[in-house]
Amino acid sequence: MICNENSSEPVSVLFDGLESASSRGSGIVIVDTAGRLHTSTNLMSELDKMYRVIDTRFSEFNVRPLITLDACIGQNSLVQAKEFNKQHTLDGAILTKLDGTARGGIVFPLYDELEIIVKFIGVGESLEDLEPFDPISYVDILLGLENN
């Protein structure tokens, strides 16, 4: 984990993280841009700046943007994904809060309208609760064919 003690500016932290990964020969860097909403112009502009830094200074990295969506907010998740996807093509989604009553019906329009595949699901609050998405099990549970 990289933290920048001199700056809390996300672009600076991103730069330090990528610089560190590059010097160590690391193959994977996870950048969490936490809490960005498509309605926040300043935060979306900051996200653009992050992509520019990657493109100009760290082109050796293969960027795979994933959007994290709350399964409880339904169609609002689709709107959010559409707006993020307009700015930067998304490679996939993480669907959270599937441990409650949410069914995650957003899985279908995400793919139908945007060709975004759910890659992981969150079924709790710890790292161990992040699981690879299994579409067959998901449909079985959705249709009541499997108890879970």
Q: Which amino acid is at 40?
A: S
Kindly state whether residues 55 and 75 are assigned to the same domain. no
Per-residue pLDDT of the chain (148 residues; tens, 9 = 90+): 665 556 578 888 888 889 998 899 887 887 777 666 666 677 788 888 888 998 999 888 888 888 989 888 888 889 989 988 988 889 999 998 887 666 778 899 999 999 999 999 988 888 888 999 999 988 888 888 876 5
Pairing of strands 118-122, 130-132: antiparallel
Domain that holds residue 44: 1-63
Nearest CA to 141 out of 103, 95, 109 is that of 103
Kindly state whether residues 16 and 49 are assigned to the same domain. yes
Q: What is the CATH number of the domain that holds 139?
A: 3.40.50.300
Total domains in the chain come to 2
